Structure 1
Amino acid sequence: MFGASTTAAEVIDGVDLHGRRAVVTGAGSGIGVETARALAAAGADVTLAVRDTGAGARVAARLEAELPPESGQLTVGRLDLADRSTVAAFVAAWRGPLHILVGNAGVMAPPELTRTPDGRETQFAVNHLGHFALAVGLHPALAASDGARIVSVSSIGHLFSPVVFDDLDYRFRPYDPWTSYGQSKTANALFAVGAAERWADDGITANALMPGNVGETSLARHMNPHQVADFIASGELALPPQKTVRQGAATSVLLAASPTVEGTTGRYFEDCAQAEPVAERAGAIAGVAPYALDRENAARLWALSEALVR
């Protein structure tokens, strides 16, 4: 069956997505490209939702040249998750049902505190709030499809921090790139729990995942290698074995399209399987913290997120 070394192509093999439509955020690089490739190869029409539409167009052209003729269509849409207006514009432009929404875009560990134009800490705003606003805005399109799936790309980094509800934006505590990243990735998991509860009657499933330790992406562009080395030496960070980008996209594609997880919702996956709970962070290279699947935390985050993006 599927596991840590499985590729996205192996997951999608034999799956027919013709007639289905997908949106993949952050599909201009890394595992977003490979997620889009796999879904299109199975016949889905895929929108690459990207900040840089020129880069997105180049990716789309490359994939079209590489994919077989029976593949789904690829289109490019502008989406900057730090800019609320582009999220609203993307939602307003969408027409018809949406079967698959993959929240893949993200930013990791900028060394200095930065904020979005509306004053939110950047990692929480981009990784969670932008995706939250997108999913809520596209909810009617998801509900209009037959069994829509939402895929929320989280990380083992969620172990660095729960969501600190009293200080999301680091106004009262010193900024730390890792706890900031951690709370945003916890929020990604809690969003899946919240969406699973609220939208089940619409036939929508929502799950979160850890893609793996994928070296071939732009996600770590802000990271200082010396900082990472120091963090590992301190025991605060342990890294699982490295994956290729096509292996890193496998769990996203599994949750987006595989019949093996039909009806599964509100869960956290890694290596193409549901993750086991983990009791403490030190030395952990796998698993999910109970606080990241807690229904009360999810409800509180949902209410707060609604207020922040209203």
Structure 2
Amino acid sequence: MSRITTPFTRESTADEVLAGVDLSGRRAVVTGGASGIGVETARVLAAAGAEVTLAVRNVEAGRRTAAEITARTGNQGVLVEPIELADQESVRAFAGRWQGPLHILVNNAGVMAEPLTRTPEGWEHQFATNHLGHFGLALGLHPALAAAGNARIVSVSSSAHLRSGIVFDDIHFENRPYEPWSAYGQSKTANVLFAVEATKRWAPNGITANALMPGGIRTALQRHQDPDNDPELKRIFDNYAWKTVEEGAATSVLLAASPLLEGVGGRYFEDVNEAEPHVPGRDGGVAEYALDPEAATRLWEVSLDHVNR
């Protein structure tokens, strides 16, 4: 299976990636579509003609964002629906309200390296939000994705997946000390494994899924990090090769709608190209454990046990 490369680079913008692509008649959902790269992802899909639903926690912020996207693109089909990804009832309600086919699902929302928080079920909040919420959403929307006949799921992961595989014996940090970055890394590995298994199970329905690292972008995602009071974090932040929001959304829209990815699934991308295998001591790339088909199947079964409770 040869590595997929594109004409684009880490400096390419989302507008450049979808230049000339017509998404008229297609429908997309973008979780977290009212902040960060979610806004730019939604805007570029709308500019290409897609109907775009912003799936958001803050409906008022979503409405303001939708109005801004409509004003910039002229697309009247920018909609807003509430969802709380850490609440499976909210996820099921969103899927239950959906009618008709769905061509693009961008699982974009997330939380990063937060203090230990648990859902009412006792689930670690980052895993519950970043993985289980999106897993339940994709399951609930599966009939709509299958009805589209040629649907894509975009799973926004991170290079932080290199910090941790899935610790199946203690996913929710019940028996080991909680460490925010390990928890985040585990949830981001789950995002990649989801894409592997979803493609395996759902490709016969015309559904493919891919994961990506958008790059480091200064957004509200870093709200739990305080470089002003952490000299080591400040050093990292000051020297990091940050992307703009326009650059950060480029890989998401590549996976969502570019003809270059037609029929491609179960892979991990960064800088608008398929990632190389990670080499210890180097930045970037994809960990072998994040693409492990056995781990992907095991995680799927574990996730089903969670969301079907």
Identify the TM-score tier after normalising by the shorter chain: over 0.9
CA distance in 2, matches of 1:43, 1:238: 38
Gaps of 5+ in 1: none
Give the corresponding residue for 1:46. 52
Give the corresponding residue for 2:221. 219
Give the corresponding residue for 1:85. 89
Q: 1:29 aligns with which of 22, 31, 35?
A: 35
Give the corresponding residue for 1:176. 179
Gaps of 5+ in 2: 1-6
CA distance in 2, matches of 1:228, 1:290: 32
Amino acid at match of 1:24: V
RMSD: 1.7
- Change beyond 3 A, Cα 1:240–1:210: farther
Alignment coverage as a number of residue pairs: 302
Q: How does 1:161-310 map to 2 (within 5 A)?
A: 161-215=164-218, 217-225=219-227, 229-230=231-232, 241-280=241-280, 282=281, 284-310=282-308
Query: Alignment partner of 1:230: what SS?
Result: helix
Query: Alignment partner of 1:144: what SS?
Result: helix
* Contact 2:146 2:205 (8 Å CA) reproduced: yes
Amino acid at match of 2:42: A
Deviation at 1:230, TM superposition (A): 2.8
Give the corresponding residue for 1:142. 145
CA distance in 1, matches of 2:56, 2:238: 30
Percent identity, please: 60
Deviation at 1:224, TM superposition (A): 2.7
Amino acid at match of 1:47: T
- Change beyond 3 A, Cα 1:250–1:74: same
- Change beyond 3 A, Cα 1:96–1:200: same
Does structure 1 residue 126 correspond to structure 2 residue 129? yes
TM-score by length of 1: 0.94
CA distance in 2, matches of 1:93, 1:245: 30
* Contact 2:104 2:256 (8 Å CA) reproduced: yes
- For each residue in 1:143-198, what CA deviation from the matched residue of structure 2 results, as whole angstroms up to 9, or x when unmatched? 00021000000000000100101111101000000000000000000000010100
CA distance in 2, matches of 1:177, 1:33: 26
CA distance in 2, matches of 1:291, 1:263: 23
Deviation at 1:106, TM superposition (A): 0.1
- For each residue in 1:196-241, what CA deviation from the matched residue of structure 2 results, as whole angstroms up to 9, or x when unmatched? 10001001110000000111x11111113268653687x9x99862
Does structure 1 residue 2 correspond to structure 2 residue 8? yes
* Contact 2:29 2:105 (8 Å CA) reproduced: yes
- Change beyond 3 A, Cα 1:108–1:188: same
Deviation at 1:44, TM superposition (A): 0.3
* Contact 1:60 1:74 (8 Å CA) reproduced: yes
Deviation at 1:285, TM superposition (A): 2.2
Query: Alignment partner of 1:61: what SS?
Result: helix
CA distance in 2, matches of 1:270, 1:196: 19
